[in-house]
C-alpha cells in the first residue's frame, strides 16, 4: 500500500529512520501522544524484522511443535496423536497468515490512522537533522526534522567469513522463519537463541536429521548454565544431534542457487569440522549472531564515521553520544543495548517522551528520571527463549552478579515438585533459580526453565524493577495450582538455607 504523504512535503518535527515496531512506538510517543508531527522512513516492510522474519513467524512455527510435544505426553491425548505428525502445510499456512503474507497494508493503515506519516525508501543522514531518502523508483527526497531524528534500522544476520560458507548461500534467520520446505537433513551453525529455537521447529516439523554445531561447550551461554543443559537435553531427546565444542572450518556446495527465501538453496552441502570429520546435509542455517544496520546510513555526515557498522552508543535517554544538540537518537538493535523487540519498544517509548519533552520545553531539570530514562528497565532485561523446555529469564545470572560485585545469595527449586506443573504433565522437567542481593535483600535475577514458564517472567521483572524486599515478596501469594507456586517454594527454600 502506498503511504499517503504529500510528495512535496519535506519537514516534520521528528523523522524515524527504520519503521520496525520500535520505530512505530517512538513515532507514537513523540507524535500521537505528545502532539509533534512524525514520519517513518521504511526501506522494506513497516513492522520490521520482528513482524515478518523473526519473532512472529518463529513463534508461529514453534506453537504446533509445542502442542504436539505436550499432547504426546498427556494420557488421554497421547493415544490419539500416537503415530501422527504435524500437518506441515497447515502450519506453514498459519505462519503465512501471521506474517500477513508479507504485506504491511494493515501496519500502514494503523500508522496513518494514528497520524504518523510513512515515506517508503532507504534513509541516510546527510547532516544535522536531515535525511535523504532514496525511494523505490530511485528518486532521492530530502527530509528535514525540526527537532529529532531517530535511528531504528535494526540488525541483519552475521554470516562468518568461513571458507566457502557465503558462496554456499546458506539459510539465515529470514529463510528458516519463512521456510517453504523442510530440508530433510539440516545443520544449524550456532547454539544461541536463534540456533536452539530453529532446531526445535525444524525437527518438530519433520526434518529427519538436525544437527546443531556450536563452538562453545554448552548452549545458550548467556543464561544460567542449567538452562542451556536442560535445553540441550530436550533437543537430544527430540533427536537433534548436538556437536558442542565443534567448529566448521570449510563448506562446499555443488550448484548453490538463489531459489528464494525459505527454499533449499541448491545441492548438498558438505561441512568440514575442526576434528577433520565431514557432514553432508541438504541445508545449513547460519545462526551466529547479528550485525547492526549502521554501515550505510550516513553517519560520517554527522561526525560518527567511526560508528559505521557498529552499534550506536547511546545514553539512557537514547540520545546518540558524540553528536551535539541532542537531536539524534537510536533505539532497538541498532543501539545494541538488548537485541529484543520488547526492549527496543521500551527504548522507543523513553526516546519518544524525551523528544517531546525537549521539544516542548517540558524536560524536568536535573538528571532525567522516571519515564525520561531507560536505566531501570535495562536492569531487568526480561527474555523468553521458546525452546522445549522454555527459558524465562530476568536480570543478572549468578555469574554476572558476582562479576558486578553483588553480594550474591542463590536459591534453586525443582519445578517438577509443584502441583501446578504436575497437572500440566506428569513428566514435567524444570528448574528455577533466584539471584538475591544480600545487601538489600532484593532480587537481581531470576531464571525459570520448563514448559509454560514464559508467564512467570513478568512477576520476576516486577520484583527486580521494583526492588521488592523478599519479606514483602512473601506476601505475594501464588494461585494454586499454577507454576507460580514456585515463588513460594523458592522463598521457603531460601528461608531454610538461611536457618542452616
Ligand atoms: C529468528 C529470530 C527470532 C526472534 N525472536 C524474538 C522474540 O521472540 N522476542 C524478542 O523480543 N525478540 C526476538 N528477536 C529479536 C528481534 O527480532 C529484534 O530485536 C527486533 O526485530 C529489533 O527491532 P528493531 O526495531 O531494532 O529493528 P528491525 O526489526 O531489525 O527492523 C529494522 C527496520 O529498519 C528498516 N531499515 C533498515 N535500514 C533502513 C534505512 N536506512 N532506511 C529505512 N529503513 C531502514 C528495515 O527495513 C527494517 O524494517 C528475534 C530475532 C530473530 C532473528
Ligand atoms: N526468543 C527470543 O527472545 C529471541 C529469539 C531469537 C533471537 N533473539 C535475539 O536475537 C539475537 C541474535 O540471536 P542469535 O542466536 O543469532 O545470536 P546469539 O548471539 O544468541 O548466538 C550466536 C551464537 O553463535 C556463536 N558463534 C558466533 N560466531 C560463530 C562462528 N563463527 N562459528 C560458530 N559459532 C559462532 C556464538 O558463540 C553464539 O553462541 C539474540 O541476541 C537474541 O536476543 C531473541
pLDDT in tens, the chain (500 residues): 445 577 789 999 999 999 999 999 999 999 877 889 999 999 999 999 999 999 999 999 999 999 999 999 999 999 999 999 999 999 999 999 999 999 999 999 999 999 999 999 999 999 999 999 999 999 999 999 999 999 999 999 999 999 999 999 999 999 999 999 999 999 999 999 999 999 999 999 999 999 999 999 999 999 999 999 999 999 999 999 999 999 999 999 999 999 999 999 999 999 999 999 999 999 999 999 999 999 999 999 999 999 999 999 999 999 999 999 999 999 999 999 999 999 999 999 999 999 999 999 999 999 999 999 999 999 999 999 999 999 999 999 999 999 999 999 999 999 999 999 999 988 999 999 999 999 999 999 999 999 999 999 999 999 999 999 999 999 999 999 999 999 999 999 999 999 98
Q: Which ligand is nearest to the CA of 193?
A: 2
The one-character DSSP state at 313 is P
From 50, 66, 288, 383, give the residue whose CB has the most ligand 2 atoms within 8 Å, as the site to mutate.
Answer: 288
- Angle between helix 193-204 and helix 55-72 axes, rounded to 10 deg: 50
Interface confidence (ipTM) of the complex = 0.98
Q: Is 440 in the pocket of ligand 2 (CB under 6 A)?
A: no
pLDDT of residue 4: 55
The answer to whether the CB of 319 is under 6 A from ligand 2 is no
Closest residue by CA, ligand 2 atom 11: 339
Residue 177 placed within a domain: yes
Q: Would you say the CB of residue 344 lies under 6 angstroms from ligand 1? A: yes
Do residues 48 and 20 touch, judged by C-beta distance below 8 A? yes
25 CA distance to ligand 1 centroid (A)?
Answer: 13
* DSSP assigned state of 293: S
Q: Got the DSSP string for 22-61?
A: HHHHHHIIIIITT---EEEEESS-TBHHHHHHSHHHHHHH
**Residue 299 grid coordinates:** 553517519
25 in a structural domain: yes
d(CA 41, CA 5): 11
Q: Which atom of ligand 1 is nearest to the CA of 41?
A: 43
Q: How far is the CA of 4 from the centre of ligand 2 (A)?
A: 38
73 φ, ψ (degrees, to nearest 5): -110, 5
For residue 467, give its domain range: 389-499
Kindly tell me the number of DSSP H helices and DSSP E strands found in the chain: 16, 21
Peptide bond into 5 cis (omega under 30): no
Please list the alpha-helical segments (H only) found in 225-311. 225-237
Q: Identify whether 95 is part of a domain.
A: no
CA of 138 to the centre of ligand 2 (A): 34
For the Cβ of 408 lying below 6 angstroms from any atom of ligand 2, the answer is no
**CA 403 to ligand 1 centroid distance, Å:** 30
Q: Which residue bears the cell 527449586?
A: 413
- Pick from 288, 306, 324: which residue ends a domain? 288
194 lines ligand 1 (CB under 6 A): yes
Q: Is residue 59 part of a domain?
A: no
- The H or E element that residue 383 is part of is strand 383-385
Give how far Cα 82 sits from Cα of 228, 419, 479, Å. 29, 27, 33
Residues 152 and 296 in one domain: yes
Are 189 and 248 in the same domain?
yes
160 close to ligand 2 (CB < 6 Angstrom)? yes
Asked if 323 and 448 sit in the same domain, the reply is no
The closest of 20, 22, 15, 34 to 353, measured between CA atoms, is 34
CATH of the domain at 354: 3.50.50.60
Residue 338 Cα: closest atom of ligand 2: 43
Q: Looking at the structure, do residues 433 and 493 belong to the same domain, yes or no?
A: yes
pLDDT attached to residue 33: 78
Q: Is 414 contained in some domain?
A: yes
Same domain, 312 and 329: yes
| Inter-residue contact 344 to 22 (CB < 8 Å) | yes
Residue nearest to atom 2 of ligand 2 (CA): 385
Rg (CA), the chain: 24
**Could you tell me if the CB of 286 is within 6 A of ligand 1?**
no
Q: Are 297 and 149 in contact (CB under 8 A)?
A: no
CA distances from 365 to 147, 148, 207, 347, 350 (A): 19, 20, 59, 21, 17
Task: Tell me the three state secondary structure of residue 362.
Answer: coil
> Ligand 2: does its nearest atom lie under 6 Å from the Cβ of 190?
yes
Q: What is the dihedral of CA 437, 438, 441, 447, to 10 degrees?
A: 40
Ligand 1 atom 38 nearest Cα: 153
* Ligand 2 close to Cβ of residue 115 (< 6 A): no
In ligand 2, which atom is closest to the CA atom of 55?
A: 5
Burial 373-408 (b: 16+ CB within 10 A, else e): bbebbeebbbbbbbbbbbbbbbbbbbbbbeeeebeb
Shared-domain flag, residues 185 and 148: no
| C-alpha cell read off for 485 | 507456586
In a domain, 298, yes or no: yes
Amino acid at each position: 500500500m502506498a503511504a499517503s504523504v504529500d510528495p512535496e512535503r519535506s519537514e516534520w518535527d521528528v523523522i524515524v529512520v527504520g519503521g520496525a515496531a520500535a520505530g512505530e512506538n517512538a513515532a507514537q510517543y513523540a507524535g500521537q501522544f505528545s502532539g509533534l508531527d512524525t514520519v517513518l522512513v521504511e526501506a522494506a516492510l513497516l513492522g520490521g524484522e520482528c513482524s515478518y522474519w523473526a519473532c512472529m513467524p518463529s513463534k508461529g512455527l514453534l506453537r504446533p511443535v509445542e502442542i504436539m510435544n505436550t499432547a504426546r505426553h498427556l494420557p488421554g491425548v497421547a493415544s490419539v496423536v500416537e503415530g501422527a505428525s504435524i500437518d506441515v502445510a497447515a502450519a506453514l499456512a498459519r505462519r503465512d497468515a501471521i506474517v500477513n503474507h508479507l504485506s504491511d497494508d494493515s501496519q500502514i493503515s494503523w500508522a496513518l490512522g494514528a497520524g504518523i506519516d510513512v515515506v517508503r525508501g532507504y534513509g541516510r543522514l546527510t547532516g544535522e537533522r536531515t535525511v535523504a531518502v532514496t525511494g523505490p523508483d530511485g528518486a532521492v527526497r530530502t527530509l528535514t526534522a525540526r527537532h529529532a531524528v531517530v535511528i531504528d534500522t535494526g540488525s541483519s544476520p552475521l554470516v562468518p567469513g568461513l571458507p566457502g560458507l557465503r558462496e554456499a548461500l546458506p539459510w539465515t534467520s529470514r529463510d528458516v522463519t519463512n521456510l517453504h520446505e523442510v530440508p530433510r537433513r539440516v545443520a544449524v551453525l550456532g547454539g544461541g537463541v536463534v540456533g536452539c529455537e530453529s532446531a526445535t521447529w525444524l525437527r518438530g516439523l519433520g526434518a529427519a536429521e538436525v544437527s546443531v554445531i556450536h563452538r562453545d561447550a554448552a548452549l545458550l551461554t548467556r543464561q544460567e548454565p542449567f538452562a542451556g543443559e536442560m535445553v540441550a537435553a530436550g533437543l537430544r531427546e527430540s533427536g537433534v544431534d548436538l556437536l558442542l565444542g565443534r567448529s566448521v572450518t570449510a563448506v562446499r556446495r555443488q550448484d548453490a542457487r538463489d531459489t528464494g527465501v525459505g527454499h533449499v538453496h541448491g545441492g548438498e552441502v558438505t561441512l568440514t569440522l575442526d576434528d577433520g570429520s565431514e557432514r553432508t546435509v541438504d541445508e545449513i542455517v547460519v545462526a551466529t549472531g547479528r550485525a547492526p544496520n549502521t554501515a550505510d546510513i550516513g553517519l560520517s555526515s554527522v561526525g560518527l564515521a567511526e560508528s559505521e557498522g557498529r552499534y550506536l552508543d547511546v545514553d539512557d535517554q537514547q540520545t546518540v553520544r558524540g553528536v551535539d544538540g541532542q537531536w539524534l537518537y537510536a533505539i532497538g538493535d541498532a543501539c545494541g543495548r538488548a537485541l529484543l523487540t520488547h526492549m527496543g519498544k521500551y527504548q522507543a517509548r523513553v526516546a519518544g517522551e524525551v523528544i517531546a519533552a525537549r521539544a516542548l520545553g517540558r524536560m524536568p531539570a536535573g538528571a532525567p528520571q522516571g519515564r525520561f530514562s531507560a536505566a531501570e528497565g535495562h536492569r531487568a532485561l526480561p527474555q523468553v527463549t521458546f525452546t522445549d523446555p522454555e527459558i524465562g529469564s530476568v536480570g543478572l545470572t549468578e555469574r554476572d552478579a558476582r562479576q558486578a560485585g553483588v553480594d550474591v545469595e542463590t536459591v534453586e527449586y525443582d519445578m517438577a515438585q509443584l502441583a501446578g506443573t504436575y497437572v500440566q504433565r506428569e513428566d514435567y522437567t524444570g528448574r528455577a533459580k533466584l539471584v538475591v542481593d544480600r545487601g538489600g535483600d532484593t532480587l537481581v535475577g531470576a531464571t525459570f526453565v520448563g514448559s509454560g514458564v514464559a508467564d512467570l517472567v513478568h512477576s520476576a521483572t516486577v520484583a527486580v524493577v521494583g526492588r521488592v524486599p523478599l519479606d514483602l515478596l512473601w506476601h505475594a501469594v501464588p494461585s494454586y495450582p499454577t507454576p507460580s507456586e514456585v515463588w513460594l517454594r523458592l522463598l521457603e527454600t531460601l528461608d531454610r538455607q538461611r536457618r542452616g
